[in-house]
C-alpha cells in the first residue's frame, strides 16, 4: 500500500521537475452545474499531463537504485512523461510503441530525446519487450500505473488540491488503470477523511466499475472510447485494492457526455483538454458527481490532442 508519507516524500522528490498547476474556475460552469467547480489544470503540467508526477518519482527512484537505462511501453502520455524525465536526468530511454502508433505522439516522444521502438499491436506484446530491453541494458521498466512510486507520484495532486481548495467537498477523477485515483485516495483520505472521491469511467471502458461490482479484478475486451487514456482493460493489482477500500463512488459517462465537456471546455473556458482529461468534468456536467452547492475539485488530467482529431470530439 501507499501511505501519506510515501506521497509527501514523492512530492519532495518531484518538486523541482513538475509545475504546481493552477485551479481554474468559470462562473458559467458553476451556474450550469449548480455547484462550485474548481478545475485542477493538469493539462498545463510539464509534458501536458499529470503522468510526469508518477514517472518522475519512479524514474528517480530507479536511477537512485542504479538503473542506467529506462524503458516504458506507451505511445501516450506515460511514454512522453518517461521520455522527458529520463532526458532531464541524462539517462537514455527507449519507449516501445505499437506499430500503428499515432505519428503526432511518436514525434512528441522523440522530441523528448527518447528512442522509439515499434512492437506489435497490443500491450501484451509491448510490455515484455520493454521489460526485456530494460533487463538487457541494466535498466528499469516503468509501468504506467501499477507501481508504488507511480501511485505515490500521482497522489501529489491531492496535496496541492487540499492546499489550493481547503474546503473542497468532493474530488472527481478520471479512471484508467487507477494510478491517478489510487494516489489521490491514499493522500486525500489521510489528510482530510471527510472528503469524498468519485471516479469516472467511460461507459464502454467500464472495467473498474465491473471489478468493483464483482469484488475482483475483471477484464473487458477492446473498447473504442474517444478517451484513449482510459482504454485499459482492467484495474491494476496494486491500484484495485486501494479503490476497493477507499473509493466512495464510481460513475459512468457516455461518449456524448465526454464530447459535451470537451466542447464546453474549449468553447467557453478556452482550454484544450484531451477527451480522457474531460471525462471527470463530463460526470459533473451530467449531474452524476457531486451535490448541489458543494465545492468540487475536478481533475483535467491532460491536454495532448492530435489537432486533426478535434472534429471527432465535438457534439453534432
Least CB distance to ligand PLP at residue 37 (A):
18
For ligand PLP (CB under 6 A), the number of binding residues is: 20
Q: Active site residue: 51, 105, 189, 259, which one?
A: 51
Choose the binding region for ligand PLP from 11-19, 97-105, 270-278, 286-294 (rule: CB under 6 A): 270-278
Exactly one of 47, 91, 276, 284 binds ligand PLP (CB under 6 A); that residue is: 276
> Catalytic annotation on 3?
no
Q: Is 179 in the site for ligand PLP (CB under 6 A)?
A: yes
> Catalytic annotation on 288?
no
Task: Count Cβ atoms below 10 Å from residue 310 Cβ, excluding itself.
Answer: 13
Q: Is 180 in the site for ligand PLP (CB under 6 A)?
A: yes
Cα separation of 140 and 73, whole Å? 12
Least CB distance to ligand PLP at residue 136 (A):
27
Q: Is 218 in the site for ligand PLP (CB under 6 A)?
A: no
Choose the binding region for ligand PLP from 20-28, 31-39, 112-120, 226-234 (rule: CB under 6 A): 226-234
The interface with ligand PLP within residues 46-105 (CB under 6 A) comprises 49, 51, 77
- Between 69 and 127, name the residue whose CB sits nearer to ligand PLP: 127
Residues carrying an active site annotation:
51, 301
Residues in contact with ligand PLP by the rule CB under 6 A: 49, 51, 77, 145, 174-181, 229-230, 232, 274, 276-277, 301-302
Amino acid at each position: 500500500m501507499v501511505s501519506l508519507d510515501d506521497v509527501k516524500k514523492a512530492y519532495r522528490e518531484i518538486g523541482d521537475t513538475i509545475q504546481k498547476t493552477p485551479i481554474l474556475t468559470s462562473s458559467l460552469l458553476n451556474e450550469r452545474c449548480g455547484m462550485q467547480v474548481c478545475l485542477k489544470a493538469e493539462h498545463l503540467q510539464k509534458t501536458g499531463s499529470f503522468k510526469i508526477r508518477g514517472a518522475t518519482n519512479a524514474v528517480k527512484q530507479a536511477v537512485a537504485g542504479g538503473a542506467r537505462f529506462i524503458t516504458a511501453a506507451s505511445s501516450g502520455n506515460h511514454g512522453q512523461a518517461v521520455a522527458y524525465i529520463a532526458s532531464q536526468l541524462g539517462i537514455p530511454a527507449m519507449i516501445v510503441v505499437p506499430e500503428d502508433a499515432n505519428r503526432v505522439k511518436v514525434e512528441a516522444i522523440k522530441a523528448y530525446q527518447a528512442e522509439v521502438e515499434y512492437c506489435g499491436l497490443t500491450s501484451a506484446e509491448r510490455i515484455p519487450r520493454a521489460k526485456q530491453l530494460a533487463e538487457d541494458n541494466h535498466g528499469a521498466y516503468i509501468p504506467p500505473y501499477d507501481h508504488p512510486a507511480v501511485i505515490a507520484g500521482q497522489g501529489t495532486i491531492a496535496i496541492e488540491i487540499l492546499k489550493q481548495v481547503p474546503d473542497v467537498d468532493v474530488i472527481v477523477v478520471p479512471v484508467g488503470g487507477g494510478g491517478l485515483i489510487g494516489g489521490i485516495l491514499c493522500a486525500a483520505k489521510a489528510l482530510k477523511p471527510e472528503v469524498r472521491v468519485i471516479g469516472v469511467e467511460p461507459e464502454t471502458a467500464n472495467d473498474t466499475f465491473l471489478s468493483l461490482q464483482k469484488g475482483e479484478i475483471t477484464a473487458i475486451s477492446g473498447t473504442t472510447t474517444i478517451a484513449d487514456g482510459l482504454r485499459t482493460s482492467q484495474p491494476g493489482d496494486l491500484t484495485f485494492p486501494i479503490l476497493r477500500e477507499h473509493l466512495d463512488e464510481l460513475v459512468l459517462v457516455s461518449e456524448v457526455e465526454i464530447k459535451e465537456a470537451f466542447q464546453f471546455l474549449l468553447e467557453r473556458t478556452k482550454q484544450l483538454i484531451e477527451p480522457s482529461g474531460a471525462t471527470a468534468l463530463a460526470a459533473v456536467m451530467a449531474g452524476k458527481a457531486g451535490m448541489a452547492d458543494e465545492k468540487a475539485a475536478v481533475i483535467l488530467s491532460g491536454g495532448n490532442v492530435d489537432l486533426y482529431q478535434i472534429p471527432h470530439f465535438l457534439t453534432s
